[in-house]
Amino acid sequence: MNVFVNDTPHKTQHDVDLKTFLHSLKLEDFRGWAIALNEEVISAKNFESMILKEDDRLLLIQATQGG
């Protein structure tokens, strides 16, 4: 199935949870990241309970320092 990450399509297996999918993208440490699923920000404690569906849209934003 297809899941979009920052508007880029990614193929993944059906019934994959958000945490497993993020690990497949080599994202292991979630500190400093804001992750939204279909325009709703998801808390890291809920990643394992969120099952992705065909054409879901993820937005990944990493906090950076600077000014």
Q: Per-residue pLDDT tens for 44-56?
A: 999 999 999 999 9
Q: Establish if 56 belongs to a structural domain.
A: yes
Q: Establish if 13 belongs to a structural domain.
A: yes
* Domain encompassing residue 13: 2-62
Q: CA angle at residue 44 from 63 to 28, to 5 degrees?
A: 70
Question: How far is the CA of 10 from the CAs of 29, 31, 32, 45, in angstroms?
Answer: 20, 23, 23, 23
- Is it the case that residue 61 has pLDDT exceeding 70? yes
CATH number of the domain to which 16 belongs: 3.10.20.30
- Is it the case that residue 26 has pLDDT exceeding 70? yes
Q: Establish if 45 belongs to a structural domain.
A: yes
Q: Establish if 67 belongs to a structural domain.
A: no
Of 27, 31, 22, whose CA–CA distance to 52 is shortest?
Answer: 22
Number of domains into which the chain is organized:
1
Amino acid at site 41: V
